[in-house]
Amino acid sequence: MSIRHAAVALSAAACFSAMACSRPAESPRWPGGTLVDLSHEYSDQTVFWPTADPFKLEKVADGMTPQGYYYAANNFATSEHGGTHLDAPVHFAKGHWSVEQIPLDRLTGDAVVVDVTAASGRQPDYRAATGDFTAWEAANGQIGPGAIVLIRTGYSKLWPDAAKYLGTAERGQEAVAKLHFPGLHPDAAKWLAETRKVKAVGLDTASIDYGQSTLYESHRILYERDIPAFENLTNLDRLPARGAIVIALPMKIKGGSGAPLRAIAILR
């Protein structure tokens, strides 16, 4: 062992014994900030689009084996667009990125959190408008190119009550016309894409277009410009207006139009 190695080993040993070396759990050594989970759990309670197959977990094993050790394993099945999930551009734009083709750079970056909770509370069919973003800019500075814009409607507090969160707990094609929840106005989607060059958009409702949408224009505007979306996020109330970093990594489904998404934020 060299002198340098010995010194490293000594300091590591000292850290094991000295309380001064340990940091409180809420201040992790890496990445140097508080971690916030932006994803809901997947279970039989998870909210899915009325026409999408829900999440299923099938127990394969859960118990002691003849060899004397414990073993657990499950099968799961899910549609792409349920729970906290990514929409890949190909979802509404033929020939554009599927899930595995989206560059990691599009899924990670500086978050801008725009709060439309008050308007969404008054009006379930509210659509975040360009004016909401320009008002945000007046208070916080311009939304920079490459920002990940997160729209906070406050709807995640209604999860997983589908009747409140989606506007209806009914399932099937007829239920789609009964959906009521806030989303992003197409004019604002175009403004964010073209004048602010954002790299991704996310929100805490089931769809980037509001519940009453029939043409899904915000989906089409964003995805034709290769801007993916994150839907059914949670804990946006824990993020500052700006300064958080988002890491939103979907299950890497080849050819997928969407995928379950584990998204986190790092508060520095």
H or E stretch covering 248: strand 242-250
Distance in Å, CB of 7 to Zn ion, minimum = 53
Distance in Å, CB of 232 to Zn ion, minimum = 8
Tell me the catalytic residues.
91
What distance lies between CA 169 and its chain's CA centroid? 22
Distance in Å, CB of 220 to Zn ion, minimum = 13
Q: What is the residue-wise DSSP string for 103-161?
A: -GGGGEEEEEEEE-HHHHHH-TT-EE-HHHHHHHHHHH-PPPTT-EEEEE-SGGGGTT-
Distance in Å, CB of 22 to Zn ion, minimum = 42
Nearer to Zn ion, 133 or 230 (CB): 230
In the chain, the amino acid numbered 93 is A
CB 213 within 8 A of CB 167: no
Nearer to Zn ion, 143 or 258 (CB): 258
Locate all alpha helices (DSSP H) within the chain, ordered by sequence: 3-17, 117-122, 130-140, 162-165, 186-194, 217-223
Applying CB under 5 A, which residues contact Zn ion?
Answer: 81, 87, 231, 258
Decide the pairing of beta strands 34-37 and 258-267: antiparallel
Nearer to Zn ion, 40 or 81 (CB): 81
Nearer to Zn ion, 256 or 266 (CB): 256
Q: Which residue is nearest to Zn ion (CB)?
A: 81
Distance in Å, CB of 265 to Zn ion, minimum = 20
Q: Which residue, among 200, 210, 208, 182, has the nearest Cα to 250 in the 3D structure?
A: 200
Query: Using CA atoms, how far apart are residues 82 and 265, in angstroms rounded to an integer?
Result: 21
Nearer to Zn ion, 84 or 143 (CB): 84
